Copies of this chain bind each other. A is one copy, B any other.
């Protein structure tokens, strides 16, 4: 257990236009239940932020006004692609990550962390469809749902954030706190199909989904190559 029970924790989640909302809200369900903690939702401006399917969210603070965080949470989604050279957002991530006890990356939030120069030599994971982007930003891709590297917790794609957040809650306040949150959330999943990973999905489903994200994946690769070279991040490790 990392924090003393009487230490009030500041947890901060970044939100941005066209994020994937459950990268924020899956973890939020867990993080907001951690005792003696405040969760801040930070955006560039105090205005509605829409997820990539249109869900309207609203921040509790701006990035500039975010307090010094004990836990920094970086979600992903298609909108990450527009922030790979955004100095305000990347500067926020760098600044908070430098002092946070934990950094929690969900899905393609890892690519933002990479663009901030923070993943060089780091074991990491991200959405299955973007694993090949990680080495371009200097990271060592690990094909697991939750990857822990020092004080960084990475969750793979989308719903992986819930499992990552429970691991993080346990690291922050102990196993019993995480178990009680899991019970409150009735988190005993029963996926109706076996199609949650590229390894499990029927081949025709995998092919369709790869096609659906082909253009975005190609754009992510191109951007990461450019950013990776500019920052001197390129690693030679291939995604497993």
Q: Which residues of A contact B (CB under 8 A)?
A: 20-22, 25-26, 28-29, 32-33, 39, 41, 48, 53-60, 107, 127-128, 145-146, 156-160, 162-163, 166-167, 170, 175-176, 178-180, 182-193, 195-198, 200-202, 204-206, 208-209, 212-213
Chain B residue at minimal CB-CB distance from A165 = B192
A193 pairs with B179, CB closer than 8 A = yes
Cross-chain contact A41 with B58 (CB below 8 angstroms):
no
Residues of B close to A26: CB separation below 8 A? 22, 25-26
Q: Which of B29, B145, B191, B198 contacts A158 (CB 8 A)?
A: B29
Asked if B187 and A191 make an inter-chain contact with CB atoms under 8 angstroms apart, the answer reads: yes
Cβ contact within 8 Å between A186 and B54: no
User: Chain B residues near A183 (CB, 8 Å)?
Assistant: 195-198, 201, 205-206, 209
When A54-B39, A180-B209, A209-B180 are in contact, do A156 and B186 touch as well, CB less than 8 Å?
A: yes
CB-based nearest B residue for A146: B190
Instruction: Let me know if B193 and A175 touch, CB within 8 A.
Output: yes
Chain B residue contacts of A204, Cβ below 8 A? 176
A169 to B, closest residue via Cβ: B192
Tell whether, in the assembled complex, residue A159 and residue B186 are in contact, meaning their CB atoms are under 8 Å apart. yes
The docked-state distance in angstroms from the alpha carbon of A188 to that of B111 is 22
